[in-house]
Chains A and B, each alone.
Chain A
Amino acid sequence: MKILVLVKQTFDTEEKIRLQDGQVQEDGVRFVINPYDEYAIEEAIRIKEAGDAEVVVVSVGPSRSEEALRTALAMGADEAILADDSELFGDEYSAAKVLAAIARKDQYDLIIAGNQAVDDGSGQVAVRLAEELGIPHISTLTKLEVNGNEVIGHRDAEGDEEIVKATLPVLVTAQQGLNDPRYPSLIGIRKAGKKPLTHVTLADLGLTAEEIARKSEVVETFLPQPKTAGKILSGDLSQQVSELVTALHSVEKVIG
């Protein structure tokens, strides 16, 4: 079986976001594998260790993403593909197109991705990819079983659990709690340096800029307003209610 794992390198969740001229500053920032993607990588490696599988990790992103791919290789993935040609960058639509072109170059039985990236948090790329490839997907898995051609996914459904069956090839996305990702060992890190990591460009993938052109545009990037102190209403109950209604109308303007 051949497994493709989608990986994105993101800011460590502990990092402070700093903006300068509307751009997020990256200097001195600690980058990590998107935590949801870590579950995806771990799951793929466990399937490999339980049977016979080859694990390929892929990322669309700047060349610093190589660190994330090397970490995945150190955890136990076999091969990595990095689409770091800036002409391949766009939005979720573009990323899905690029990943589809990469996926089509080989025969993957299973594609595993994180449910979402902790930076943009769109949760779109993986499911768009399934659509591009014309394969089914099961999202936000908390448990995955693969028996031959059959895949059973347990998914979080608003506090309930939904069990979904599908047949390979299929794409699944990982929810928190799918597994407990391992740390890459020092031996693993050593070996990772010698595993293949291929860089691909627009031309390599036979794509054109028009085909993958972004469908959305970032208009403005800004930090959330600092939280201001709350207000405690006083007086008897009816006074408080009327004061609240007035405030909702005229101060907060949440009621028209």
Chain B
Amino acid sequence: MATEEKLAKGAAFLIEETQAEKIFTPEDFTQEHQMIAETTRSFVEGEILPHSEQLEHQDWDLTVKLLHKAGELGLLAADIPEEYEGLGADKVTSALITEEITRGGSFALSHGAHVGIGTLPIVFFGNEDQKRRYLPKLASGEWIAAYALTEPGSGSDALGAKTTATLSADGKHYVLNGTKQYITNSGFANVFVVYAKIDGEKFSAFIVERDYSGVSTGPEEKKMGIKASSTRQLILEDVHVPVENLLGEPGRGHVIAFNILNIGRHKLAVGAVGAMKSALQVSVKYAKERKQFGTSISSFPLIQQKLADMNILTFVTESMAYRTTGDIDRQLEKLGKTSDGRQIAQAIEEYALECSVNKVFASEALDKVVDEGVQIHGGAGFIQDYPIERMYRDSRINRIFEGTNEVNRMIIPNTLLRKAMKGELALLQAATALQSELMGMMPISDEVSELGPIQHQLAMMKKIFLFVGGVSVQKYMQSLKDEQEILAWLADIVIEIYATESALLRTQKELDKGASAEQKVDMTTIFAQESFARVEQSARNILASMEEGDMLRTQLTLLRKLTRVQPVNTRDIKRRIAQRVIDAEKYLA
């Protein structure tokens, strides 16, 4: 390539305008991507769904057999480089596999824990010997992987782990002791990536094989949902792990842990897209079949409204998740094949904020979608014969694992402040520039072009963020980190901005291509309006929590300058969106 393409900088979307052509969208899938998605879908329809009941009842032999089958097809190999018998595919490919697998229920957790958090630490941070020993077996599914970070006493506070590793007298082994909790795939995994502190201090990662003496698992946890996945404690009693199985550098396990979490968050969002599409599909089908008062309930506007909302949330999450996937791909491509773990970690870390944004938005969107799905099903939605009942239970964990949404909401503003302090993001400059701008007149919305009003809303949302963000920093300075409510409202604004912008740019990109995009325009219009209202509310919450009296009145006046937008006809637009979904009987972008 003659000229190096400028890559999107993490979090820069808050202060910069992004060109539509620069983002990756689902409309950019190549034929190969589509074929891989199709194979995955056929696998789910042919091999997973027919066995749903058996898988839900925890027939681990079947789970392992199906993982092997997935391995034969190559569905475990996407992220593994070709030299270790993988496919070395891009992240869009593995995202698509994740999305499609999710449509087969919580078997996806077994798959995801294996290919994601189980395998990726070795892919990214393993040395040549470790990669050679483990990756081919993991690519084929001969061995199943798991990831053991959480402990009974340390969940969100991952670095508070109590598991210890002590170098043996002969220097050949680390002796591990401790208990890990809620370990997916623990019932049958052959290999675990385990975090422990060397000499009780240096947080480090180890590759631990199940067959090592002293490795055992606890009883199967009785979970609310995702029952087709195995969750147990991993118990380590004087486990002698060869020193060659230390993953990465001693004392740098946090680098591995945090970056694998970033990937995990991003993959969770992609998986949620698949789950939303399934929930929408069963719900729209049910709504068409179910007759009340002599007509299909899908003809009732209040049911249509739900279908429209579900379709919009799916569209927005999909737009965000694949935009981030594309950005991560480009970062990794730039590195080439010779990069080491640290470089890869940096490349992924660039989008740590986007990963958290995706995780929070997607898990909450999925919860809303399955909730409305149950509502559309009425009483039937409460009965286990209908898949929506399982989807509702399966959804709930997403707001908890891979970092709770509360932890992720704290990560978002903290990451921003760190980037601003390090000079990576000109956030403070932008906030200062806005202050003088606020004294003057605000530009009004471009009502002529189709997306003009939305572009205006997006621009105002970014200004609102800079305004209230700037005021909060001025007010609390260093102690802002203790103001969790303010930080969470700021995080919410950031999430809304990324969501609206991703939907808008995707729609813009289609229009620029000359494609007809009525559904996308309608969905983006509605989402932007609703998102804008939420942003305004968060901003008011922040201001009213910090100030009072004249000061508050002045700031609210400034805020009002940024919040003058024309409402749209939500009722008619949502009816249109829903009608298209009803006609197609599935998610329709």
Which residues does A use to contact B, with CB under 8 Å? 16, 18, 28, 32, 66-67, 70-71, 74, 183-187, 189-190, 192-193
Q: Which residue of A lies closest to B588 (CB)?
A: A28
The number of residue pairs between A and B whose CB atoms lie closer than 8 Å in the complex comes to 51
Q: Are A184 and B584 in touch, CB under 8 angstroms?
A: no
A189: contacting residue among B32, B46, B72, CB under 8 A: B32
Taken together as a complex, chains A and B put the C-alpha atoms of A83 and B225 apart, in Å, by 50
Most buried by A among B35, B46, B588: B35
Known: A183-B42, A184-B39. A18 touches B75 (CB 8 A): no
CB contact list, B30-62 vs A, under 8 A: 31-32, 34-36, 38-39, 42-43, 46
B87: contacting residue among A16, A66, A74, A186, CB under 8 A: A186
Taken together as a complex, chains A and B put the C-alpha atoms of A16 and B582 apart, in Å, by 10
Q: Are B35 and A183 in touch, CB under 8 angstroms?
A: no
* 11 A-B interface contacts by CB (under 8 A): A18-B583, A66-B31, A67-B34, A67-B35, A74-B39, A183-B43, A183-B46, A185-B72, A185-B73, A186-B89, A192-B35
> Dominant SS at the B interface?
helix
Q: Are B46 and A71 in touch, CB under 8 angstroms?
A: no
Known: A16-B583, A183-B73, A187-B74. A74 touches B43 (CB 8 A): no
Taken together as a complex, chains A and B put the C-alpha atoms of A193 and B35 apart, in Å, by 11
Shortest Cβ-Cβ A-B pairs, 6 listed:
A186-B74, A189-B35, A185-B73, A183-B42, A185-B74, A183-B39
Q: Which residues of A contact B74 (CB under 8 A)?
A: 185-187
0/1 interface trace, chain B 274-318, chain A, CB 8 Å (1 if under): 000000000000000000000000000000000000000000000
Q: Which residues of B contact A189 (CB under 8 A)?
A: 32, 35-36, 39
Known: A67-B31, A70-B31. A186 touches B77 (CB 8 A): yes
The answer to whether the Cβ of B78 comes within 8 Å of any Cβ in the partner chain is: yes
B35: contacting residue among A18, A28, A70, CB under 8 A: A70
Taken together as a complex, chains A and B put the C-alpha atoms of A16 and B579 apart, in Å, by 14
Chain A nearest CB, measured from B77 CB (Å): 7
B38: contacting residue among A16, A18, A71, A193, CB under 8 A: A71
Q: Are B39 and A16 in touch, CB under 8 angstroms?
A: no
Q: Which residues of A contact B73 (CB under 8 A)?
A: 183, 185-186
Number of B residues near A (Cβ < 8 Å) is: 23
Q: Which residue of B lies closest to A25 (CB)?
A: B583
Q: Which residues of B contact A70 (CB under 8 A)?
A: 31, 35
**Further contacts, 16 of them, CB under 8 A, given A32-B38, A70-B31, A74-B39:** A16-B583, A18-B584, A28-B584, A67-B35, A70-B35, A71-B35, A183-B39, A183-B43, A184-B38, A185-B39, A185-B72, A185-B74, A186-B77, A186-B78, A186-B87, A189-B36
The answer to whether the Cβ of B350 comes within 8 Å of any Cβ in the partner chain is: no
Taken together as a complex, chains A and B put the C-alpha atoms of A185 and B89 apart, in Å, by 14
The answer to whether the Cβ of B585 comes within 8 Å of any Cβ in the partner chain is: yes
Taken together as a complex, chains A and B put the C-alpha atoms of A18 and B585 apart, in Å, by 11
Q: Which residues of B contact A66 (CB under 8 A)?
A: 31
Q: Which residues of B contact A190 (CB under 8 A)?
A: 32, 87
Q: Are B585 and A16 in touch, CB under 8 angstroms?
A: yes
Most buried by A among B34, B72, B78, B584: B584
CB contact list, B194-236 vs A, under 8 A: none
Q: Which residues of A contact B75 (CB under 8 A)?
A: 186
Q: Which residues of A contact B31 (CB under 8 A)?
A: 66-67, 70, 193
Taken together as a complex, chains A and B put the C-alpha atoms of A159 and B585 apart, in Å, by 36
Chain B nearest CB, measured from A53 CB (Å): 23
Taken together as a complex, chains A and B put the C-alpha atoms of A185 and B36 apart, in Å, by 8
Taken together as a complex, chains A and B put the C-alpha atoms of A74 and B35 apart, in Å, by 9
Q: Are A186 and B39 in touch, CB under 8 angstroms?
A: yes
Taken together as a complex, chains A and B put the C-alpha atoms of A183 and B381 apart, in Å, by 33
Q: Which residue of A lies closest to B43 (CB)?
A: A183
Q: Which residues of A contact B583 (CB under 8 A)?
A: 16, 18
Taken together as a complex, chains A and B put the C-alpha atoms of A183 and B39 apart, in Å, by 6
Q: Are A193 and B584 in touch, CB under 8 angstroms?
A: no
Q: Which residues of B contact A193 (CB under 8 A)?
A: 31-32
0/1 interface trace, chain B 58-87, chain A, CB 8 Å (1 if under): 000000000000001111011000000001
Chain A nearest CB, measured from B336 CB (Å): 20
Q: Which residues of A contact B38 (CB under 8 A)?
A: 32, 71, 184
Taken together as a complex, chains A and B put the C-alpha atoms of A74 and B73 apart, in Å, by 11
Q: Which residue of A lies closest to B69 (CB)?
A: A183
Q: Which residue of B lies closest to A29 (CB)?
A: B584
B584: contacting residue among A16, A74, A186, A187, CB under 8 A: A16
Q: Which residues of A contact B43 (CB under 8 A)?
A: 183
Taken together as a complex, chains A and B put the C-alpha atoms of A70 and B35 apart, in Å, by 8
Taken together as a complex, chains A and B put the C-alpha atoms of A192 and B72 apart, in Å, by 17
Taken together as a complex, chains A and B put the C-alpha atoms of A171 and B31 apart, in Å, by 31
Taken together as a complex, chains A and B put the C-alpha atoms of A45 and B309 apart, in Å, by 46
Q: Which residues of B contact A32 (CB under 8 A)?
A: 38
Q: Which residue of B lies closest to A184 (CB)?
A: B39
Q: Which residue of A lies closest to B78 (CB)?
A: A186
Taken together as a complex, chains A and B put the C-alpha atoms of A28 and B585 apart, in Å, by 11
Chain A nearest CB, measured from B79 CB (Å): 12
Chain A nearest CB, measured from B527 CB (Å): 19
Taken together as a complex, chains A and B put the C-alpha atoms of A18 and B584 apart, in Å, by 8
Taken together as a complex, chains A and B put the C-alpha atoms of A74 and B42 apart, in Å, by 14
Most buried by B among A66, A67, A184, A189: A189
Known: A18-B583, A28-B584, A28-B588. A184 touches B46 (CB 8 A): no
Q: Which residues of B contact A192 (CB under 8 A)?
A: 35
Q: Which residue of A lies closest to B76 (CB)?
A: A186
Taken together as a complex, chains A and B put the C-alpha atoms of A186 and B42 apart, in Å, by 13
Taken together as a complex, chains A and B put the C-alpha atoms of A189 and B583 apart, in Å, by 32
Taken together as a complex, chains A and B put the C-alpha atoms of A71 and B32 apart, in Å, by 10
Q: Which residue of A lies closest to B580 (CB)?
A: A28
CB contact list, B70-116 vs A, under 8 A: 72-75, 77-78, 87, 89
Q: Which residue of A lies closest to B93 (CB)?
A: A186
Taken together as a complex, chains A and B put the C-alpha atoms of A58 and B558 apart, in Å, by 67
